[in-house]
Amino acid sequence: MSDPVGDPIVVGTDGSAGAIGAVEWAAGHAGLRGAPLRVVHATDRLPYDGPRYPIPDCYDRLTPSGGQILDCAERVARDRWPGLEVTTELVEGRPGRVLRDQAAHAAEVVLGSHGAHGFPGMLLGSVGNHVAGHVAVPVVVVRPTPAEAMPEIVVGFDCSESSAPALAYAFEEARLRGYRLRIVCAWEPPVPYGAAVNLDEMRQAAEDYARGGLRPWRGGYADVKTELEVVRAHPVTALVEASSRAALLVVGSYGRNALAAAVLGSVSRSLLGHAHCPVAVVRRTRPRGGEPVVS
């Protein structure tokens, strides 16, 4: 997988501790991928200035503060990865809309899980809902990595074709970082089910189906150590638990089949709110090189 030439990693910042963590993560990520980094700050006059009672020069008063926030973020990024190509941009507008517009010319969008006043905070509010799952590129929401985290990336796999973008992203991240990849496939028995249902046979069928779907991926990424974990649980429960020891959790923004469901409104949205590590939400985007064809 390779990012489109010239497309930067875009990270949003509001100067908060969570945003600084997102900038650090994005700088390291861009450095590993050999991509430029663009740091963006949105000045939203709406909380302070309304059309009925406008405040004169409201935007002009917000601009110096935004410039200071960007200068600080740029220093953080360069300290994290010396030599990284870093640009900054001050944009007027609602944070969620700004990041969605930025995503049109980005390889990826990164934001923090908590912010000072909604950017990149309000993860389950305006910004998160307007970005994750609604843009054509991966969106990474950064939160502190668990102290007990292993050099491991976790990806949710529901055995559907729509899992391909998330798998491609996870395999490439594991390869770049030299991490192990844990592939979690959650399944649940039909509800209601009776004595005639053999749960052991259902689990074995789920595992066989998952291994078959992963075969071309393992062949294409033979250098990546992988482990398949088939869990009888709801996908959210299984992935939140797995995230407690992971450096990154990767999930698709949609996809459904008989084994599990993964749609933004249920699984991905819940994981953004409850995962213990950074979360990458990946949906089908531009065709990427190296992605095997999964039938």
**CATH code for the domain of 85:** 3.40.50.620
Question: Looking at the domain assignment, is residue 294 inside a domain?
Answer: no
Do residues 131 and 179 both lie within one domain? Answer: no
- List pLDDT tens digits, range 33-55: 999 999 999 987 655 444 444 44
> Rounded to an integer, what distance in angstroms lies between the CA atom of residue 147 and that of residue 37?
27
Is residue 272 domain-shared with residue 207, that is, in the same domain?
A: yes
Place of tokens 């990284």: 84
Quick check: is 264 in a domain? yes
Total of domains in the chain: 2
Out of 142, 177, 192, a domain closes at 142
pLDDT digits over 223-241, tens only? 999 999 999 999 999 999 9
Residues 177 and 227 in one domain: yes
Host domain of residue 50: 9-142
β-strand pairing of 152-156 with 108-112: unpaired
Nearest to 16 by CA among 122, 124, 167: 122
Per this entry, what is the length of the chain?
A: 295
State pLDDT tens for residues 97-107. Answer: 899 999 999 99
Q: Which of 95, 110, 142 is the last residue of a domain?
A: 142
Most confident of 52-61, 114-123, 148-157: 148-157
**For residues 62 and 43, what is the distance between their CA atoms, to the nearest angstrom?**
7
Q: Closest by alpha carbon to 92, among 69, 60, 124?
A: 60
Mean pLDDT check: name the lowest of 130-139, 190-199, 258-267.
258-267
CA angle 126, 129, 133 (to 5 degrees): 155
In this structure, the answer to whether residues 36 and 138 fall within a common structural domain is yes
In a domain, 81, yes or no: yes
Decide if pLDDT at 252 tops 50.
yes
Q: What is d(CA 29, CA 108) in angstroms, rounded to the nearest whole number?
A: 10
Does residue 257 share a domain with residue 227? yes
Is 90 exceeded by the pLDDT of residue 57? no
**What pLDDT is stored for residue 4 in this prediction?**
44
**pLDDT band at residue 259 using 50, 70 and 90 as cut-offs:** very low
pTM: 0.83
Tell me phi and psi for residue 46, to 5 degrees.
Answer: -55, -40
